[in-house]
Structure 1
Amino acid sequence: MTSATIGSSSFRLCAVSLDGSFRNQTNTVQKRELAVLIYELLENSTFVPIGHSGGPYRLCLALVEGRLVLSVTTEKGAPILSHQLSLTPFHRLLKDYRFVCNSYSDASARMLPERLEAIDMGRRAIHNEASELLKERLKSKVDIDHETARRLFTLIYLLITQNTPYRAD
């Protein structure tokens, strides 16, 4: 299990953990990306479970039969919600996002800055679309701001496309 925690305040994440359904990252770059991303979520997130009076909250992510399971508890471990999120609506976005990220990496050493900027604009557009879809799919369970949705989508992307047997092809 991967886990991280940070100081407390209301309506934010204080811990993010990944259960054993995700393979451990062996690539040093992937480990660092994941650690930085979780740190950013802990440092700056808006996370408001519908109908709950305040946090901070612990988020545990699991992958069960092609669905992302989000389990939310209070800082002290009292259960708040568990939600299964179908990844089917995200398949195209995950695939497109991976393609454009790979294109950027491949092109960074040999392209003009203007071309790289165009690729990055495409990446940001896909990222924003996926973040809005994530917000929409979670809105009956948890309210998140745009930046939290972006970070959560990036976390899902890293876990699904790079660190698990499941692929968004």
Structure 2
Amino acid sequence: MTASDARLIDVELDDTIGRSTPDVEHERAVAIFDLIEENSFRPVSDEGTGPYKLKISLVESRLIFAISRESGDDVVTHILSLTPLRKVIKDYFLICESYYDAIRASSPSKIEAIDMGRRGLHNEGSQALMDRLGGKIDVDFDTARRLFTLVCVLHWRG
């Protein structure tokens, strides 16, 4: 498999997620766009070739990654417990709310301080997700960051 084949060409979030606030919808759209534009993604067990499509769902506190080929043929589905990610997701939600509030009413220095904390928590969650995917799906850190944003969108109703 070439490096150009080890990538996602489509990402879909489960239909049951519904719509959220404009801020959350913006985060979702940007993360999906950025993810499709540049990513490194390869199911470890796949002997075939990519590129891949990914459908992300959340069922009973489990994260479902359903991976298929460009043709639509199923490759593998991974079901991951979200328990190891719960605390960082909760903390990330809290700081995002503070950040969005600050954008509307705070000084640039306060916004910058909150954003630094937000990025730090985002990195922590991204690394935790990357660790959870270890041995199942090979991703680089930037891909893990965008996937973490999408995992958060699954939780965040706004």
Calculate the TM-score normalised by the size of structure 2. 0.88
Q: Which runs of 5+ in 1 are unaligned?
A: 1-8, 164-169
Equivalent residue letter for 1:38:
I
Q: Which runs of 5+ in 2 are unaligned?
A: none
Please state how far the C-alpha of 1:27 moved relative to its aligned partner.
4.3
Task: Return the structure number with greater helix share.
Answer: 2
Equivalent residue letter for 1:67:
R
Share of identical aligned residues, percent? 44
Calculate the TM-score normalised by the size of structure 1. 0.83
Give 4+ residue runs of structure 1 displaced > 4 Å after superposition: 26-29
Alignment of 1:55-66 (within 5 A): 55-66=50-61
Q: Larger RCO: Structure 1 or Structure 2 (Cα < 8 Å, ≥ 6 residues apart)?
A: 2
Which residue among 132, 135, 158 is the counterpart of 1:140? 135
Question: Equivalent residue for 1:35?
Answer: 29
Question: Equivalent residue for 2:93?
Answer: 98
- d(CA) in 2 for partners of 1:86 and 1:66? 7
Question: Equivalent residue for 1:158?
Answer: 153
Which residue among 124, 127, 141 is the counterpart of 1:129? 124
Equivalent residue letter for 2:31:
L
Question: Equivalent residue for 1:13?
Answer: 8
Q: Give the 3 Å change call, closer, same or farther, for CA 110–148 of structure 1 in structure 2.
A: same
Cα contact 2:57–2:154 (8 A) shared by 1: no
Comparing 39-48 and 111-120, the one that deviates more = 111-120
